[in-house]
């Protein structure tokens, strides 16, 4: 290539670089009109979660709570429903029983001794009712705060694969910290 050809090629590359920078400047002055977020579910999804606030509980207290959730099964399969954060449940409650209805004709009962159950679910949308009956142990000895911790899950996974939720343990207010 001649020297003139080389200079022209160099000027062409510089012109392309400048045009890219100008175009970049123009693009940066654009305002976003729409964004997107999505999930492609190929198995199962929970579109509404049952949220239960157990409130302030006292040692020995028993209560019942009910809420609903919506589960969408895209791919028919055997799914395991299981209690999560079992360490917390065993540490705090002498009874923690979960009754799930609305998965077809099946009634699922989970508790501290029977922590999971596998069910065959055909494709469809299920509005499930979840009822929790609990009794707080008498010998807790400290304040425990749990917020937005999962206690029930469904999936193709075993219960051992779900990590525990963080828990705040507070010393008794009567004890001296010194």
- Which tokens sit at 64? 């019942």
For range 101-119, the mean pLDDT: 92
pLDDT, one tens digit per residue, over 63-107 is 999 999 999 999 898 899 999 888 899 999 999 999 999 998 889
Give CB contacts under 8 A, 24+ apart, made by 89-94: 89/151, 91/137, 91/144, 92/136, 92/137, 92/140, 92/144, 93/134, 93/135, 93/136, 93/137, 94/135, 94/136, 94/137, 94/138
pLDDT, one tens digit per residue, over 7-53 is 444 454 444 444 444 444 445 577 778 878 777 766 888 888 999 99
pTM score of the predicted model: 0.68
Q: Work out the pLDDT band at 172, boundaries 50, 70, 90.
A: very low
So what's the pLDDT on residue 140? 85
**Domains of the chain by range and CATH?**
44-170 (2.60.40)
So what's the pLDDT on residue 178? 38
């Amino acid at each position: 290539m001649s020297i003139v050809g080389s200079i022209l090629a160099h000027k062409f590359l510089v012109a392309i670089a400048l045009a890219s920078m100008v175009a970049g400047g123009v693009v940066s002055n654009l305002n976003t009109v729409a964004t997107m977020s999505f999930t492609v579910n190929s198995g199962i999804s929970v579109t509404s979660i049952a949220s239960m606030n157990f409130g302030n509980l006292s040692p020995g207290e028993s209560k019942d709570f009910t809420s609903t959730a919506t589960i969408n099964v895209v791919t028919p399969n055997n799914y395991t429903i299981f209690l999560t954060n079992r360490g917390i449940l065993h540490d705090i409650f002498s009874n923690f029983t979960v009754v799930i209805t609305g998965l077809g004709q099946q009634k699922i009962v989970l508790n501290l001794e029977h922590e999971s159950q596998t069910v065959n679910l055909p494709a469809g949308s299920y509005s499930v009712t979840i009822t929790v009956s609990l009794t707080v142990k008498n010998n807790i000895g400290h304040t425990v705060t749990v917020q937005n911790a999962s206690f029930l899950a469904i999936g193709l996974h075993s219960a051992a694969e779900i990590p525990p939720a963080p828990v705040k343990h507070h010393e008794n207010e009567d004890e001296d910290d010194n």
